[in-house]
Amino acid sequence: METQTKLIQPTTKGKFTICPYQPEYEAQIFASWEKAFNKKIDQELWHWKYHANPAGFRTMLCLSEDGEVAVHYAAQVYKINHQGQTKLALHLTDNFSHPKYRWALGGKTGLFVKTSWAFLKTYLKDIPIEEKFKLKTSIPIAHFHYGFPGIRHYRLGAKLMYYRLFKPGTLYFKYNPKSSQTPTKNGLSFYKCESHKHPTPEEINQLWQKVLKSWNPFSIIRDYSFLKWRYFDKPNNNYVFWGLKTKFFNKLAAWLITTPESEKDDVIHIVDFLAQDITSLELLLKKFINKNKKKSIDCWCSGNHPQKNAFLKGGFTSPKEPLGIVPCTRCDEKGVLPNEADNFIWTIGDADCF
């Protein structure tokens, strides 16, 4: 089959074109985004999320005859560690359809599904979609894709767009100062630094290398490049970095990324974390609670996270997850079974919820 750069989709109300993102489409993306989500778009945040991402992004569009964006299907690209190798994963975000064109969006013949098929067939290694949906690209192909949709979007994706429920599910941890006992202090030295005082690249990278050597996680590579983009460089950044250093060697043993301890907010969210072992994470969580005794604290992570027990030991409980997110994923590389994605380890920082 001859390689193609776009797909023409005829409908009873005109022809539509499915094609990859081009800079000249950006104004129309913003206009349709605001119609779909019924709010003003933050263009600075948009450019940070996609264009500033060090690993890049992927976007497939469906355009009407007059150039309006009827469907936007996109993903942020993350570098991941898989079986000791660096590969690419696609985190599906900001997928929407313009309300004006939703008459043509349902079922297998709908524009939304066909746009998703073109995206998946073009940007993933081994997906069972007809070759006619594969478009020409010079961009590196990804190993797998994942996302955190609501239940309605997930049901559509599972039926028509090759989504698969992430079997380990979601763990939600909560510290409630009214019902939980404040953990006791410990002897390790502890430091906190805000975004403009974040730790050195060497400290972050050394801890990631320790994690690789000790348990080699299938996860996003949490090195300095990722943290700098995801947290320190985010527009209107208000994250706080907390770190635990060993007492005698002054080495970073664990870190947390949290939302700020604002007086107007009752809850602090732990957005991301990494530790060389369960003990280090437990100690850091206890220190963090002691610094924020009057605040509720919560955290989301994958059900298979090897350090999940640190939260229970550190004073947290595990109530019902409140957001209703449905983690879903699929491995797409030849020779790797789809359910291999169940080994993927994530935190809520892998999503764009906070």
**Average pLDDT over the chain, rounded to an integer:** 89
Domains, the chain, ranges and CATH? 7-160 (3.40.630.30), 170-324 (3.40.630.30)
Backbone torsions φ then ψ of 165, nearest 5 degrees: -55, 135
More confident residue, 198 or 142: 142
Q: Is the pLDDT of residue 211 over 70?
A: yes
More confident residue, 264 or 259: 259
pLDDT of residue 80: 97
For 19-46, write each residue's pLDDT tens digit. Answer: 999 999 999 999 999 999 999 999 999 9
Q: Is the pLDDT of residue 249 over 50?
A: yes
pLDDT of residue 198: 73
For 329-338, write each residue's pLDDT tens digit. Answer: 988 888 888 7
Beta strand residue intervals within 169-239, DSSP E:
170-175, 190-194, 219-220
Q: Is the pLDDT of residue 191 over 60?
A: no
Residue 107: name the closest of 94, 118, 98, 116 by CA. Answer: 116
Cut 0.85: pTM above it: yes
Average pLDDT over residues 122-130: 91
272 exposed, middle or buried (CB, 10 Å; 0-12, 13-18, 19+)? buried
Q: What is the dihedral of CA 42, 32, 350, 196, to 10 degrees?
A: -10
Q: Is the pLDDT of residue 223 over 90?
A: yes
Average pLDDT over residues 314-330: 91
Residues of the chain with pLDDT > 70, as a percent, come to: 92
Residue 224, H or E segment: helix 224-227
Q: What is the CA radius of gyration of the chain?
A: 22
Q: Is the pLDDT of residue 193 over 50?
A: no
**How many other CB atoms are there within 10 angstroms of residue 225's CB atom?**
15
Average pLDDT over residues 275-304: 92
Lowest mean pLDDT, pick from 93-97, 100-104, 336-340? 100-104
